[in-house]
Amino acid sequence: MSEALINRLVDFAESGNQQKIQLRGQCYQGWVMEIAENGLLISTGYNDKAGKDLWLSLEDLQQAELFFWDTKNDQWTLFTL
């Protein structure tokens, strides 16, 4: 994974107070927990019982639509890699 892409993923993780990833008809909404050479870990749900942690590969992320919750405008905003 290139350093530029890692930096963009960090920017995505730090944008808004939640992130949403739409990929192949699925929506994953929550918080970015980790960024690694093999992809990104997102934690969905609100607690250990309802939430799931999911690794998304770099390839998946390049095909996904990324959004962050913009607290100033109270809406989801598209983020581009």
Give the model confidence (pLDDT) of 11-62 as tens digits: 999 998 899 999 999 999 999 999 998 899 999 976 666 778 999 998 899 8
Q: Going along 1-81, which residue ranges are E strands?
A: 19-23, 26-36, 39-44, 52-57, 65-70, 75-79
pTM over 0.75: yes
Amino acid in the structure at residue 56: L
